Amino acid sequence: MGMTMTQKILAAHAGLGSVKAGQLIEAKLDLVMGNDITAPVAIREFEKLGCDVFDKKKVALVPDHFTPNKDIKSAENSAVLRRFAKEHEIENYFELGEAGIEHCLLPEKGLVLPGDAVIGADSHTCTYGALGAFSTGVGSTDMACAMAEGSLWFKVPGAIKFVLTGKPGKWIGGKDVMLHIIGLITVDGALYESMEFTGSGVASLPMDDRFSMANMAIEAGAKNAIFPVDELTIEYVKDRAKRPWTAFEADPDAQYRKEITIDLSKIKPTVSFPHLPDNTRTVDEIGFEPIDQVVIGSCTNGRITDLRAAAAIMRGKKVAKGVRVIVLPGTPDIYLQAAQEGLIEDFVKAGAVFSVPTCGPCLGGHMGVLAKGERALSTTNRNFVGRMGHPESEVFLCGPAVAAASAIAGRITAPEGWGEVEAL
Amino acid sequence: MSGIAYKYGDNVDTDVIIPARHLSTQDPKELASHCMEDIDKDFPKKVKPGDVIAAGKNFGCGSSREHAPIAILASGVSCVIASSFARIFYRNSINIGLPIMECQEASEKIKAGDEIEADFSTGKIKNLTTGETYQAEPFPQSILELIEAGGLVNRTKKRGAIIR
């Protein structure tokens, strides 16, 4: 029986000729990652094992959630990572100044490559599926044992196949596509499964859009998302990779629980209403929805093409009175690129603030926490109760174009001309 | 051991189990003191050792924070019963030794305040208030071994030989 792309990567990492859905396997890992929230718990558990890390090159520690540290406790958590990295000579420990949002940073540094098997103690580790890698989020104890053994147990997932066709219209990005899909299949629609993207439409999605899409697979309950390795992937990794990598392909007779075709040309600007990511509406179904704060950034949409889209819409305009706008680049390199391209100037002149790279407000940590009754429109990934602050605040999720247009309008809207077919 | 059921709906996410504003600590007792507070502010005060959480589908969805099952376990909750669990929460619970049981019937029939006796080893859930008995889905053999070893860290210790 044929295997899906994910199954083939898992089989290769388990040293097995083939695997099937539901099988429990032990797979070797190419990278084990943790952050300043999850790694302190992992380090505590790891130290109970009394051993060294399996490979100093294959552990990554990225303090990104409550950094630059927001209070004494978070500073102490970062200090745990710093001490551990020194003690165990962890090569990929990223200090402030080098650190960015983990899921923007690791692909940028060439630490995740096509065909890899990666775990991270962060649910959005599924982001790296954009590169044709198997990557999934786990908890701290899994991270601890993976740091010791270099391998972890997995239940081989079945898959849903998403056949993408067509090309997205103007101002429509990967985020709109993914919110549409989550709205379609719901927040547990891919529970324990892989979301395997394929079809002619993949070629029209830049890497940053693929990262956005794979990033939110967890919001449909999925174990991972995965994209085929094509010219754009190769272009992305060729100057970043410092080791060989493998492009896997699904077998032609691979089994899928379901096949869903998505015509990208029909996707409209999409917004998730409180308090679940599957509570989606397209922009033409949205009435007057005023907002207090707009957040543009995060592991979902903090990459350069996201910032370019937002800046292009805000350039020469002013943020609506009463709206606060926070822009957060994903990494120092993205920050620098935004500076060189004049995007920071666009944002600041429009009345937005431009932050350092941090997860910050996405999880109600710092740099833009919401008060009771406030409503935020955000390019982040979750709109659960209390996610960005007070339990009685509200979060609406969208892509960077909708966020920028809404910042100017003061209410949820899409940029003019959305959906138009762009000239080649 | 029996306890009182706390009943919640579908898609109880880890942000409500333990809000991110409390993630600067790893102390189980401190985490327990904020468990579920955003959807049930009295939970940390009312919950007693042996009580159970009964919920709908996709329990524990969202973030990978292990602080969520740690907070529930430290609250004294003896078992979480749901019709399905989000996968990272499922792994984390097994890894740290929080008993979880997947049972559609129990998830539907248990009401808030029912007295529940759950036997994790057999999967039998007794509703002492209504007299009903429900049977949870059995765990696969290798997961059972993980549970019997006392969680992932203990199993890794017992395995001794580090796989390279």
pLDDT tens digits, one per residue of A363-398: 999 999 999 999 999 999 999 999 999 999 999 999
Selecting from A44, A138, A151 the residue whose C-beta is nearest the C-beta of B91 gives A138
Residues A94 and A233 in one domain: yes
- Asked if the Cβ–Cβ distance from B153 to A121 is below 8 Å, we say no
ipTM, two decimals: 0.95
Interface size A-B, in CB pairs within 8 Å, comes to 143
- Asked if the Cβ–Cβ distance from A141 to B140 is below 8 Å, we say no
Token pair belonging to A163 = 């056949």
Q: Locate the chain A residue with the closest alpha carbon to B26.
A: A41
The structural domain count of chain A equals: 2
B163 pLDDT band, cuts 50/70/90, is very low
pLDDT tops 70 at residue A290: yes
What pLDDT is stored for residue A87 in this prediction?
98
Report if residue A320 sits inside a domain.
yes
- Asked if the Cβ–Cβ distance from B87 to A140 is below 8 Å, we say no
Mean pLDDT of chain B: 94
Mean pLDDT of chain A: 97
Distance CA B38, CA A370 (A): 14
SS3 annotation, A7-76: HHHHHHHHCCCCCCCCCEEEEECCEEEEECCCHHHHHHHHHHHCCCCCCCCCEEEECCCCCCCCCHHHHH
Report if residue A164 sits inside a domain.
yes
- Asked if the Cβ–Cβ distance from A192 to B87 is below 8 Å, we say yes
What pLDDT is stored for residue B147 in this prediction?
86
Chain A residues touching B67 at Cβ < 8 A: 37, 41
Report if residue A414 sits inside a domain.
no
Residues A49 and A161 in one domain: yes
What's the domain range around A349? Answer: 270-409
What pLDDT is stored for residue B164 in this prediction?
41
- Asked if the Cβ–Cβ distance from A153 to B142 is below 8 Å, we say yes
Distance CA A183, CA A377 (A): 17
Domain boundary among A264, A298, A326: A264
Determine the distance in angstroms separating the CA of B162 from the nearest CA of chain A, rounded to an integer.
Answer: 5
What pLDDT is stored for residue A423 in this prediction?
62
CA–CA distances in Å: residue B118 to residues A3, B59, B82: 39, 18, 13
Distance CA A378, CA A175 (A): 11
Residues A72 and A162 in one domain: yes
Residues A304 and A284 in one domain: yes
pLDDT tens digits, one per residue of A116-143: 999 999 999 999 999 999 999 999 999 9
pLDDT tops 80 at residue B162: no
pLDDT tens digits, one per residue of B109-161: 999 999 999 998 899 999 999 999 999 988 888 888 888 898 999 999 988 65
Residues A204 and A309 in one domain: no
What pLDDT is stored for residue B144 in this prediction?
87
Chain B residues touching A51 at Cβ < 8 A: 162
Q: Are A97 and A332 in contact (CB under 8 A)?
A: yes
- Asked if the Cβ–Cβ distance from B20 to A191 is below 8 Å, we say no
The CATH number covering residue A237 comes to 3.30.499.10
Q: Is B157 on the interface with A (CB under 8 A)?
A: yes
- Asked if the Cβ–Cβ distance from B142 to A24 is below 8 Å, we say yes
Residues A319 and A181 in one domain: no
- Asked if the Cβ–Cβ distance from A188 to B21 is below 8 Å, we say no
Q: For A51-63, what is the mean pLDDT?
A: 98
- Asked if the Cβ–Cβ distance from A386 to B62 is below 8 Å, we say no
Chain B residues touching A145 at Cβ < 8 A: 152-153, 156
Q: pLDDT over 90 for what percent of chain A?
A: 99
Alpha carbon A112 to chain centroid, angstroms? 14
What value does the CA radius of gyration of chain A take, rounded to a whole number of Å?
A: 20
Determine the distance in angstroms separating the CA of A346 from the nearest CA of chain B, rounded to an integer.
Answer: 32
Residues A230 and A337 in one domain: no
Determine the distance in angstroms separating the CA of B67 from the nearest CA of chain A, rounded to an integer.
Answer: 9
Q: Which residues make Cβ contacts (< 8 Å) with residue B33, sequence separation at least 6? A: B44
Report if residue A191 sits inside a domain.
yes
Report if residue A59 sits inside a domain.
yes
Q: For A215-228, what is the mean pLDDT?
A: 98
Domain boundary among A264, A294, A328: A264
Q: Locate the chain A residue with the closest alpha carbon to B63.
A: A123
What pLDDT is stored for residue B148 in this prediction?
87
Residues A37 and A184 in one domain: yes
Residues A151 and A96 in one domain: yes
Q: Which of B33, B20, B24 is nearest to A390 (CA)?
A: B20
A424 pLDDT band, cuts 50/70/90, is low
Residues A59 and A127 in one domain: yes
- Asked if the Cβ–Cβ distance from B25 to A73 is below 8 Å, we say yes
pLDDT tens digits, one per residue of B64-118: 999 999 999 999 999 999 999 999 999 999 999 999 999 999 999 999 999 999 9
Report if residue A416 sits inside a domain.
no
Residues A207 and A299 in one domain: no
Q: For A57-74, what is the mean pLDDT?
A: 98
Report if residue A418 sits inside a domain.
no
Determine the distance in angstroms separating the CA of A385 from the nearest CA of chain B, rounded to an integer.
Answer: 7
Q: Locate the chain A residue with the closest alpha carbon to B95.
A: A141
Q: Are A66 and A366 in contact (CB under 8 A)?
A: yes
Chain B residues touching A148 at Cβ < 8 A: 156, 162
Residues A219 and A278 in one domain: no
- Asked if the Cβ–Cβ distance from B25 to A137 is below 8 Å, we say no
Helix/strand/coil for A162: strand
pLDDT tops 90 at residue A245: yes
Domain boundary among A264, A294, A325: A264
Virtual torsion, Cα A74, A77, A83, A86, nearest 10 deg: -90
Report if residue A423 sits inside a domain.
no
